[in-house]
Amino acid sequence: MGSSPIVVSGSLGTRNRPNSKSKNDPCFSSSGFVYLLVSFVALGSIAGIYVRFMMTPNVHAGISSIGCKEDDEGSWSIGVFYGDSPFSLKPIEDMNIWRDKKAAWPVANPVITCASASVAGVSSNFVADPFLYVQGDVFYLFFETKNSITMQGDIGVARSTDKGASWEQLGIALDEDWHLSYPYVFEYNDNVYMLPEGRAKGQLRLYRAVNFPMKWTLEKIIMKKPLVDLFIIPHDGKYWLFGSDHSGIGAQYNAQLEIWYSRSPLGPWRPHKKNPIYNTDKSMGARNGGRPFLFDGHLYRVGQDDGETYGRRVRLFKIEVLTTDRFEEVEVPTGLKESIKGRNAWNGARSHHLDVQRLSSGEWVGVMDGDRVSSGDASRRFHLGCASVLGVAALVVLFGVLLGAVKGLVPLSWCPHNIGKRSDASLDWERSSLFYSRMRLFCSHLNRASSSLRASIKPNSCSGSLVLTLIFLVTVVLMCTGVNYIYGGSGAHEAYPLHGQYSQFTLLTMTYDARIWNLKMYVNHYSRCSSVREIVVVWNKGQPPELSEFDSAVPVRIRVEERNSLNNRFKVDPSIKTRAVLELDDDIMMPCDDVERGFKVWREHPERIVGFYPRLANGSPLKYRAEKHARKHNGYNMILTGAAFMDTKMAFEMYWSKEAAPGREVVDNLFNCEDVLLNFLYANASSSNTVEYVKPAWAIDTSKFTGVAISKNTQIHYGLRSSCLQKFSEMYGSITNRKSEFNRRMDGWDV
């Protein structure tokens, strides 16, 4: 029995009985093969639809063909921070620095990414370990950049003449045949030195600048040890070298710290009597995480918390005793606020390096690296994806067994009728192989179990049909999950850079007391989007909620209006700190990636209304029609401002101008058409295109679930808007000749 072949479909024959079918019958004639082929095509189609409509695109696609590849070490980038002290650092976006040429209103972190380096011609997967060197008003930033081709670290350098708001990529300052990182740069005797980590070489190599910042020469090998993340500082008449040697016997990786001292950075170096200073827990900050600094007469050291994942966060320590035989330090708060936007924040998952320095003005500047995913994320997702695909295969076979299309759970042959007679040597090997016999016996038991399973579940019964439906749904979910893990990236909705720079916008919505449920879900979702800086709620009617009722990752401000008017949506608001405003109704839910794409397009065309719902007003008399009509005529001349980006100053001042007063009166009388009015005002103020469309991957109207939709009767709603079109045409001129076609941009986002 143990030697009988187990088959997928067709009749179960033994090796001694000749096959009743012709030996020339093709393998694909079996019902099992046909079933598996159909299952593969069906699940592949479902996965294709999921990829097309649900998966987040790669924000770096098209930026560079040589850089920004997915890397298991992460997707590190670099941000700039400012403060009155090293304990009150805030990100550059809080400084409200605007850069018109870069379309950054305001400039936002990160300021340097793999895309920054790749656009400059440097193949880079990520940038990390930043160190500042300040010469007057010029900042030089040295950092590790991981080469996408050689897969080793090089030392890159960038320059800023505007205090870190924008950076010019100068290229690779130091490139060796081994991995380099942690480029600690310092001055000594009127020379500039760099002490990079190069543990693969097994030496501490000190380089001197011969043509700063791009040309360096090896000054001296100061120690033959494979130290990582090291620095040299002067203190009490000596020079002190801090580093970690993970190569020693018993050394705990990322939990070990050693100290050496000398009369000169060039050595010779003597070990501290307490070495190793630490060799315990990798979450305790033993491994260095940046440049030490002096503040109020005290020396501070930056360390890495590598407990949960490599580089989870930085920890700060005040050094209280540093002598040749004693070392004591205590941890102090960093004052840095961690982002709660998760993977949508550039540093949402981890940050392991901080370099702070005091400027001649007395202000403190800091550079920090950050990552949106944990260490090993790419491998973890690949393994989970493969496990999901294996689960799909198992469920497909199980489904086929219950339907009767597959005759055995563990087939030993795809074409049983073509097996033929095996040789005597093969039979002798099978009889003598204990492993082979046990495997066939195990498979036989499994196939008997499959028959019993089908008999007990009875697919033709109601309970059997329910089981089949459940298996099918789980299979589809696993298939989409596997595809998402393998091909869907980290799952982060990243911001899209423009000219290598990022910015932020204000999210504004108008609502009232009957729509609290919508608003809470709205705030929870959109506050996590990468570029959202603040959410402003225009409260038109009823008792406003308390701010404590919202789960938000950004500040929420409720602006209570005296009267219920749709004109309040575009009221001039001096408290808004960004040039861009996304007017978005509280009943529209869409992915953060769609929002970020819309923001990117608006930054390219800030003089336009850029939105997600196109409309075409045409005919005689003018009629207001939906997107279906616009697509039929391959064009649009209006964008719904309930989901659109606009210039806060331009749009709001235009809407509240003296010329717009008659239009605002129409809006108040009809309690409708405020977005139609703004479209007419934009068109009246410019002879070029004033609207731009971005297609969302998907959008849900949540008001359908609550019964509080503003426009319940579409026919009446469209009738009022058609009336507005005719009135506004008389006031501000027609917009029928302002038609923009779909799919005219190169990015493909307006199909």
State the catalytic residues: 675
* Residue 108 contacts residue 166 (beta carbons within 8 Å): no
Tokens of 98: 């605007």
Complete DSSP assignment for 195-238: EEE-GGGTSEEEEEEEETTTEEEEEEEEE-S--EEEEEEEETTE
CA gap 655, 164 in Å, rounded: 36
Which H helix or E strand runs over 584? strand 580-584
Q: For 506, list phi and psi in degrees, rounded to 5.
A: -100, 135
- Give the closest residue to 154 by CA, choosing from 134, 131, 183: 183
Q: Tell which residue, 462, 448, 442, has the closest CA to residue 408.
A: 448
DSSP class per residue in 258-307: EEEEESSTT---EE-TT-SSEES-TTS--SB-B--EEETTEEEEEEEE-S
Local structure of 617: helix, strand or coil: strand
444 three-state secondary structure? helix
Q: Which of 501, 498, 505, 555 is nearest to 530 (CA)?
A: 505
| DSSP symbol at 371 | B
Q: Please name the amino acid found at residue 395.
A: L
Give the closest residue to 488 by CA, choosing from 47, 42, 127.
Answer: 47
Contact at 8 Å (CB) between 533 and 578? Answer: yes
Residue 200 makes CB contacts below 8 A (sequence gap 6+) with 178, 179, 226
Residue position matching structure tokens 């590790």: 144
What is the rounded CA–CA span in Å between residue 151 and residue 362?
40
CA-closest candidate to residue 453, choices 442, 440, 438, 468: 468
Place of tokens 């329910």: 466
DSSP 620: T
Q: Which of 175, 169, 183 is nearest to 112 (CA)?
A: 169
CA distance linking residue 490 with residue 273, whole number of Å: 46
Which residue in the block uniquely carries the two structure tokens 């129409």?
A: 666
- Joined together, the tokens standing for residue 635 give 């064009």
Joined tokens for residue 628: 């279906």
Contacts of 487 (CB under 8 A, 6+ apart): 51, 55, 385
Nearest to 54, CA basis, from 601, 590, 611:
590
The C-alpha atoms of residue 182 and residue 131 are separated, in whole angstroms, by: 8
CB atoms within 10 A of CB 301: 22
420 Rama sector, left if φ>0, alpha if ψ -120 to 50, beta otherwise: left
| E strand spans, 333-458 | 354-358, 364-370
What is the 8-class DSSP label of residue 412?
S
Pairing of strands 505-511, 532-539: parallel
Number of residues that this document lists for the chain: 751
State the sign of the Cα–Cα–Cα–Cα dihedral 253, 254, 260, 265. Answer: positive
Neighbour count for residue 270 (Cβ, 10 Å):
14
Instruction: Give the three-class secondary structure for 404.
Output: coil
